[in-house]
Structure formats: C-alpha cells, structure tokens
Structure 1
Amino acid sequence: MQTEQLTQIHIGDDLGEVQSISQQNSDVASFSSEEARFQERLLKLCPANLWHKASYTAGCPRPVLVGRQHQQQLKDLHEALTAAITDVVQRWWSDRDARFPERMPLEAEEEELLQWIEGQVIIGNLPQFSQCQGSWRPDFLVEDSSQREENCCVTEINARFSFNGFMHEAYGQAATNESLESAATVLIPATDPNTILEGLFSLFDPEYPLHLLKGTERGIDIHMFIDAVEHRFGVKPRLITPADLRLFPDARSKSGFRLCCAIQDRDGQVPNTWRFVTPHGDIYEDIHQVGLELHQRELLVLEPEMLRQISLRCFNDMRTILLVHDKRMLGIVKQEIPQLLARGVVTAVQAEALRLGVVETLLPGSKELKDLLQVSLASPDLRHSYILKPIRSGKGNGIIFGDDVTAPEWTSLLQALTSPSGVSAELVARFKRNGSISSGGPCVVSIR
C-alpha cells in the first residue's frame, strides 16, 4: 500500500491485505473481532489488574501508516528540541544575559533548590544535565500549515512522572507488531517496543534497590513498570510514600546524610546488604536511587534537606521536573532560536524544525503577550485561536479555551498575565492548533 499521507489502516486476516479506514468500508463485526484479539495480546504482556481503569480495552488495533518523511520529520524535531532544552537548562543560572529566571520565574523554594543543584554539579556530586535528562514525553499534534502538509507540532512536554504513557506505548506497539507478523504484510513496525522499555530500564542501576516515591497520584503506567522490572530483573521495586522517608547524618557520605525508608514488612525481597536495624528494632533500607511520582506541591512540603537528598538520587532529574515540564519552557525555546543558531547549538535545519515544530507559546509578562492583548482588544474574535494553559498541570486539566469565554473575560485574563508576580501567573497563552493526531493516538507502522 503506497501513501504519502498519514493513513489509518485495517490489516486483514488473509494474505496480509491492507485497507485504509473510511466510513464507507467500516465492518463493525470484523472490527470487534479484531479488537478482541488485540486485547488478548495486550493481556499476555501485562495482567488486566495493572491497566489503569481497564485501559487495555481502549487500545486500537488499526494502526496509522506513516512514511519515512514523517519519521524523519519527528527525528529532526526530537534532536533539535533535545539540544535546545538541554542548552537552556544548563545555562539557566550561568547565563545572566539570558535572564531565564526573570522570564520564567519559579517559587522561591524551587529556585533555591535548583541553585543548590547547580552547586552540586560544580563540585562533582551531580552530573551535567546533558548526562541525566530523565524522561520526557512530548505531546504533539499533526496539522496542515501553510508551510508544510502534515506538520508535527509539539504542544507540551510531560516530565513530572517518568513512566506515564511509555508502558502503554510499548505494549500497544508490541501487540501491533504481532498483528503485522501474523498477517504477513509488506509493512514493518515504525517503533521497536524494546527500545522504549530499555530506555526506561536505563534510568536506574539494577544492581541497587529501586524505590518509587509516590503521593496522591494514583498512578497509570507506574504499576505496569513495576511488573516489567520484576519480570526483567527478578526484583520488585518498592513503592514508598513521603511518610516512609528518614534522613540520618552520615559522615561517610559525600552529601553528609543517609537517605532511607522505613520497612514495615520483612519480605526479604531486597538483599539485606541495604537494610539495617536500629537498637529499638526499627528496620530501614538505604535509598540509592528513586523515581518520583510527586506533584510539585508535594515536593515543596518536604523538609529542605530531605528534598536536597532526594535530588541527589532521583533519576527523573529535578531540573526536568521543575524546568522541562513547565509549559513556559516551549516559549523560552521559541524565543531562543536565533541565539541557539548563532551559538552553534542547533543547525539551520534544526532551527527551522523548532520554528515549525514548537507551538507558539506566549510567556506571562512578555512583549508577545502584551501585543496579543492589544490585538485582542481590536479584534475580539482572535481569542478563538488561543487557549490558556496551566503552567504546571498535565492531563489537560485547567485549560481555558478562548472560544469558551466572552471577549471581556478574555481581555481580563490577558491583562492579569501582562504583569505577573513570580509564578502567580499560573497560565500561559498558546496558539490553538487544528491538529488531528496526538502522541496518545494509535500505534504506527511504516512502509518497507
């Protein structure tokens, strides 16, 4: 099957027949049977009780056919965005001319923590950000623009939690790949699920116990991740809460402290090397590496020293959580394109990839946002082309669509963002794309 455009396809049972999906050829009975087989494949990879709200039932067995041009476009954008954000994060405090903290202010406690982390990098207790970027999951839409047909545009980066989306993507693609193999088609998978899993496994050292610090977030992929780690390495990661954490002074540690968690059970699954018993009979386990599923507000209620010690051991780096996840970061990247190009951080091709592939994001207090306010006063209907998005949120929570508010309400919202104080401006203005496919869509396959 030849196509230049993204096309959702149906893979027949016989002779590898491939057809594009359209309302005209929809076969409800065939699709139902196809979905049942797809769910069976998913449940062989991970038991039903670990799929958040039975999400395996929402899987789509009809993948999207992509061409090499689509893959190349995403590869170019991925490399350019990684280079740009890494450079910005590493210059956050050292490049005073860039004034990053002024352009994207954080809470005072967060800035103090990031400055402390910068000091730890300088003395060698933490690596440069380029060596420990953690886990990012950009969301993108596919749009038809005046400059490119089917342009992939990143709309936000999710980086609070290391695992969300990745386990679903890996298992969904694995089930899709199995369908391709059984149908003996000329198509090949566009994604290798093992690459996704190995990427997650590379975040930690299996020679040490793995702790996952979790608070109010119920968790989506984290439970699937725990199951995958246990199957792969034979040791189950331990879920802990902030209440389980303990901190002991330790002159032998380079940080001066020993970070531990209280053990309520004696399961013996982790080697006793990492455990010790106090004179009162309390059992503790050393924490050498920890993954976080804490919201920003949960991080800030921890004692400052506790948070610093976690920052030395967490593999979704605190710079990723506080800077990369922030919805204003894409606005910073967009503003920095000329400087990134002039300094040789990105090539001309990569600069163009960023210009086309990063959504227009207007920072609170910026000239661009003030200009939008003035234009909105003259052209009230312009608000229909914009949204206001919470800077720290995720999962689509709290988004205000311009076409859901009146013109006076819109200008009032923008006026509040023109002179923000600290992070009191909790919204960022963003151009609304007319996209069709996001990163949460069906799995993808490619033409041989």
Structure 2
Amino acid sequence: LHIAATLPAALKSLRLFVSIFTPMPKVVNYLLESWSASHHMLLRCHILCSHDLSSFMSFLVVFLSISWIGGLQTRRHAFRNACRWIHRKRSFSRWVASSGCVPDYAEHAGCWRSDLLFGRSPDGLRDESPYVCEINGRLPLNAVMGIALGENGLLELGASKGGLEPVNSMDASYNNLMALFDPDKPLFSIRDKWPGADSKILSAVNVARGRPPVEAVRPQDLEVRPDENSPTGFSLWDKATNRLLEQWFVEMLQEEYADLEPAVARQLSLTPLNDLRTVFIVHDKRLLGIIPEELPKMVSRGVLTAEEADIVADGITQTINPGSEGLQNLLRESKSDSDIKNYYIYKPCRDGMGHGIELGKNLTQEAWLERLEKLANPDVLRPHDDAAVIQRLVDHNWYDVVRHEVSTDDGPKPNKFHLIGSMFMFQNRKFYPATWRMGLETHLGITSDKPGLVMGMVHQPDWPIGENQEQEL
C-alpha cells in the first residue's frame, strides 16, 4: 500500500496520543487501587447503580460474568443464578484485592490494547486529534502475536530492502509475552470457547525455539489440590490428564467465569497475563465514562497535574454510562429531535470485535429510543440484563489510500478509508503500536460485512513519503 500525503499528518498526531497515554496508567492504577483497597464504591451511585454491593470490582465482576446466563433459561432462573453469584463474586473480588497473593495492579496489569480514532479536536483548532474509543483487555494475548506475524511477512517480502522497517517484530513481541513467564517451563492456555489463534502462534514460536508447546486446557477440566508451597495453599491441576499446571494464561470469554469453582477462579487470578481487574474493569467501556468525572479528584490529590487531566479528558471519546443523568438527558433530547441519534453510537460494555455496535444513523428512531429507554432505567444494571454505553460519534477523518493490487484501466487511484489505530500497553509501562486498520465505517472493526484493510506499521523511512515532503525537499 502507498499512503497518500494526508496520512503522515495523522501519524504526527500520534505525539498527542502518546501524551494522552503517559498519564493513563496513573489514572487506571489510581482508580483500581483506591476502589479495591476501600472495598466499597465511592463513585456516584447514579452512574453505576452499585449501591447494593460492597466494591466496584465486586459489582463489575458480578454482572460482567453473569449477563450471558439468560440464553435459553428463563429470566427467573437467571436471576436466581445472579443472586448466588453476587455473594460468590463479591467474596472473590475481596480476595483478589486483599489476600496478598495477587500483586498490586500497577505491577500485574498484563496487556491491554487501546483503540483510537482521528477527528476534530474539542476546541476545533485541530483536524486530526486522537480519541480513545475503547480499551481491550478481556483476552491476554490481545493479537500481539498475530500482528507480529503480519509484520514479519513484510520483512519476508523484502520491505526492509526498500527502507521500510516494521515497528513490531516477532522476536520483540514474543519476548514481551514470555518475559512474564518462565520460558523453559510448560505454559498452558486455559480456553474452551475462544479459538486461541494467538496462543497457537505463540506455541509454534515456542516449538521453533526448542521450548515446550503451549497446550490448551479446558476450564471445566481444572481443579485445585493442596500444596503447602503455594501462597494460596493450593496448586492448579488438569484433572483430565492429571497434570500440574505451573504457569498459564486465561483465554476465556467473560461468561465462562460464571461456571468456575471459587477456588479455581482464585487460583487462575494469579496469572500475570491478564490480571482479572484488566479483564473485568479496564476492558469495560463504562470506565471511559467514569474517568472524566474522576479527574478533578485526581488533580486535587496530586495523582495528575491539571495539564495531564485536560489531556486525558480531551483524548477520550465522550462516553455516556447507563443509568446516568447524561443518558436521561440524551433520551429527552432524542425524543424531541430525531436527528440526535445520527451523532451517537451504541456499544455493548463488555464485548469486543465490534459485536453489537450500532451507529445511531443506521437505526430507526423507534429502535434508538427503545435502546435509550432501557439504558436510562435505574434497574438497567441488573446482572441478567445486558448493558451498553452511548458514545459521541467522532467526526472521523477520511484518508486517501492507493491500493496498487487493485487494477484499473488508467492506473491505481486513491480510495477513501477511515483510519482506526490501536496501541499496546504492557504492565502499565511498555507502550507501542498495535494493529492499524483502514475501514469503510467509522468506529467499527473489520468484519465480513464491513470490509477494510489491516496494515503493518513501519518506521518512517529516510525518503519522502508524501507530496508535502517532496516539495519541502
């Protein structure tokens, strides 16, 4: 692909995005540590309706894990399950925060991946400001190996001979992951429903380096056995093969946690990739709605400077949480003006890969109001109900991309695409580019019905990459 002259300007605004994520680990660490330590929720009840639970983490883990229970079961049966799990998950979250077996979150986060869009700045002075629209943390490998495989392909095609050096390499990506484990001991992937594409790549790389393959173990085959040498007093076993699991990562969808025995769930939480607070809280899109309201408190307590708080606030897509006053205001405005929906997007809180996302402009007025009325209901966050956020639609820029593999009679022509970027964060310290995509639909990922291009990111070469640079030289 040849990216036309407009794209370098967008990439320059990555400097702004990096400035956003310099304070972001401090923001996330502060929120999680303060909520966990106090064992109760001090945020506004109208935001999360959590006044009947003892901690924010407890509350999230409850309804995140159980919201899928309904299915073919009746709502009554699902609600009984929810009530049983409220007590169990509350106990589990307290254990994660206070047992001393799980390290502090700042040192144990694992890997999360932020998605960003480019649009006009809040003050209208910049046309290409980056906006964080979600953070992905439910799955530990987070496409780290898949992206490395793609960019490794650039090298095999000879890109470096032309002066293009990929940002990600297979060696660096592998080392980032395996630095969290003992590479010479067997490593296991706990998964059943998730296909595990990244863990299969990781396994192949392990074998190529003379190390044990990464083997999959089903969560239903796990059990704990007494172990006086373990900090928990137990060790994790695969009862199907009678194997001791010394190290693992968890590739489970959130609903699968509801079926785990409490002792097994506690043991799984010891993995460094990912901390369950990343899986259930950082991944939840409601966090983006909470952060701006907590920024003044962080400034007053010295967690952030006023400048850092402004950068974070301006760099997060406006996110309206269910049950909030903002949601109720949006409902009233939408009832009086049917065009309001065209400027917003509906996003499930806990899902990924674009599942369930709806652009307001693609919904009828009746369907839009039905969604808002459900989200505005104070009881919206009952464990057996799905929850979603409403985000302000970013005025997402279009970029020219010349696709040389698409033949035309008069040569390659520019096509218009939206640029959707993402960045990895490892252990709240290591920050580098993830997958970057060109899509035809704003805010959305690439799926079978929403085509686009997945791109490898390269370091800027020493030759001109746009008409502006050619003129300057």
Normalization by structure 2: what TM-score? Answer: 0.71
Identity between Structure 1 and Structure 2 (%): 28
**Equivalent of residue 443 in structure 1, options 456, 460, 467:** 456
Q: 1:191 Cα shift? A: 5.1
Q: Against the structure 1 CA distance between its residues 231 and 74, is the aligned structure 2 distance closer, same or farther, given a 3 Å change threshold?
A: farther
Contact 1:387 1:430 in 2 (8 A): yes
Distance in 2 separating the partners of 1:223 and 1:230: 11
Distance in 2 separating the partners of 1:143 and 1:233: 47
Contact 2:135 2:282 in 1 (8 A): yes
Q: 1:230 Cα shift? A: 2.9
Distance in 1 separating the partners of 2:90 and 2:225: 23
Q: 1:126 Cα shift? A: 1.4
* Pair 1:157-2:157 in alignment: no
Q: Against the structure 1 CA distance between its residues 328 and 147, is the aligned structure 2 distance closer, same or farther, given a 3 Å change threshold?
A: farther
Contact 2:140 2:249 in 1 (8 A): yes
* Pair 1:238-2:196 in alignment: no
Contact 2:180 2:272 in 1 (8 A): no
Q: 1:262 Cα shift? A: 3.7
**Equivalent of residue 144 in structure 2, options 166, 170, 178:** 166
Question: C-alpha root-mean-square deviation of aligned residues, in Å?
Answer: 2.8
Contact 1:213 1:292 in 2 (8 A): yes
Q: Secondary structure at the match of 1:216?
A: coil
Distance in 2 separating the partners of 1:110 and 1:238: 32
Matching residue of 2:362 = 404
Structure 2 letter corresponding to 1:204: F
Matching residue of 1:134 = 110
Residues 5-404 of structure 1 mapped to structure 2, 5 A cutoff: 9=2, 20=4, 65=8, 69-93=12-36, 94=38, 96-98=41-43, 102=49, 105-106=59-60, 107=62, 109=85, 112-113=88-89, 116-145=92-121, 146-176=124-154, 179-183=158-162, 185=163, 190=167, 194-232=171-209, 234-262=211-239, 264=241, 284-313=242-271, 315-404=273-362
Matching residue of 1:49 = none
Q: Secondary structure at the match of 2:265?
A: helix
Distance in 1 separating the partners of 2:90 and 2:179: 24
Distance in 1 separating the partners of 2:88 and 2:112: 23
Structure 1 letter corresponding to 2:388: L
Matching residue of 1:422 = 382
Distance in 2 separating the partners of 1:154 and 1:111: 34
Q: 1:370 Cα shift? A: 1.3
Q: 1:300 Cα shift? A: 0.8
- Can you give the 5+ residue segments of structure 2 that lack an aligned partner in the other structure? 51-55, 63-81, 397-417, 422-435, 438-454, 463-473
Contact 1:164 1:220 in 2 (8 A): no
Q: Secondary structure at the match of 1:139?
A: strand
Matching residue of 2:414 = none
Q: 1:130 Cα shift? A: 0.3
Matching residue of 2:395 = 434
Q: Against the structure 1 CA distance between its residues 293 and 333, is the aligned structure 2 distance closer, same or farther, given a 3 Å change threshold?
A: same
Matching residue of 1:48 = none
- Can you give the 5+ residue segments of structure 1 that lack an aligned partner in the other structure? 1-7, 11-19, 23-63, 265-283
Normalization by structure 1: what TM-score? Answer: 0.74
Q: Against the structure 1 CA distance between its residues 229 and 73, is the aligned structure 2 distance closer, same or farther, given a 3 Å change threshold?
A: farther
Q: 1:394 Cα shift? A: 0.7
Q: Secondary structure at the match of 2:23?
A: helix
Q: Render the CA deviation track for 1:202-255: whole Å, top value 9, x for unaligned.
A: 232224321100111123322112222333462212211123312223344331
Distance in 1 separating the partners of 2:96 and 2:111: 21
Structure 2 letter corresponding to 1:354: V
Structure 2 letter corresponding to 1:127: P
Distance in 2 separating the partners of 1:348 and 1:148: 21
Contact 2:191 2:217 in 1 (8 A): yes
Structure 2 letter corresponding to 1:297: E
Q: 1:160 Cα shift? A: 1.2
Distance in 1 separating the partners of 2:159 and 2:236: 48
Greater Cα offset, 286-295 or 165-174: 165-174
